[in-house]
Amino acid sequence: MTKAKSAKKVLDSFLVKGTDKSVRVGDTVLMRAEDSEKPPYVAKIEKIEADSRNNIKLRVRWYYRPEESKCGRRPFHGARELFLSDHYDIQSADTIEGTCTVHTFRNYIKLETVRADDFFCRFEYQAANGDFTPDRVAVYCICGLPYNPDNLMIQCEACKDWFHGHCVNLSTEQVITTEKYMCTGCSNTPENNRNKGIAPDT
C-alpha cells in the first residue's frame, strides 16, 4: 500500500546550507570547483530532488567560461561572459557557494555597476562539437570584431557604426566627453556632409 521509503521528492526550492538563501528551479548558482585554484562553476538549476534523508541533488545545466570552450577566449569575449551549454549534470547541493545573475547581453550593458556575481550570456554552446548559437554576431569598428562590453565604444553620428576608443585613437576620457563623433570614413565622404536635400533614389 505505502510507497517505498526511498522515494525521491521533487522540490521547487531549498535553502543553501549555512545560509538563509533560497534557491529555486531556474536560478543560477556558483558551484565550488574541485580545483580550489579555479573560479567556481556557474550552473542553472533545472531540477531539485531530495531523498528520504534530505540529501539534495540538483540537475544542472552548465555555463562555460570562454577559456573552457574549444575556441578559447577571444578578444571580443567580455570578462563576465558565459556560454549556456548543452552539458547537463547531477550535482550535490552541498557544492553551492552562492547565487549569481546571468544577464542577457542587452541588460548587461545597461548595468550601472557590475557586481562580482553579475555575468552575461549571448551564445549557447554545444560542448561536444564546440559550435555556437548564433554562429555569427554583428561586428563593428575598423577592427571588425563583435562588441566586447569591457571596451568602451563610441558611435559615429553619420553611419551609426560603433568604434573602440583605442582603435580610433581616442582615450577613455575622450570617448566619454565627446558628444558628437564622426568616424574617419564619414568625415572624408562628401555625401555625408550634406545634411539637406532629397535622398537620391539609387
Residues in touch with Zn ion (CB under 5 A) = 141, 143, 156, 158-159, 164, 167, 183, 186
Task: Tell me the three state secondary structure of residue 68.
Answer: helix
Counting Cα atoms < 13 Å in the Cβ hemisphere of 72 gives 2
Nearer to Zn ion by C-beta: 25 or 167?
A: 167
In the complex, the smallest distance separating the C-beta of residue 179 from Zn ion, rounded to whole angstroms, is 15
In the complex, the smallest distance separating the C-beta of residue 154 from Zn ion, rounded to whole angstroms, is 10
In the complex, the smallest distance separating the C-beta of residue 155 from Zn ion, rounded to whole angstroms, is 9
C-alpha to C-alpha distance for 7 and 25, rounded to whole angstroms:
20
In the complex, the smallest distance separating the C-beta of residue 182 from Zn ion, rounded to whole angstroms, is 6
Nearer to Zn ion by C-beta: 53 or 180?
A: 180
Nearer to Zn ion by C-beta: 137 or 167?
A: 167
Nearer to Zn ion by C-beta: 156 or 175?
A: 156
Name the nearest CA neighbour of 76 among 138, 133, 161, 157: 138
Residue 80, all three cell numbers: 563576465
Name the nearest CA neighbour of 149 among 77, 199, 44: 77
State CA 66 to chain mean position distance. 10
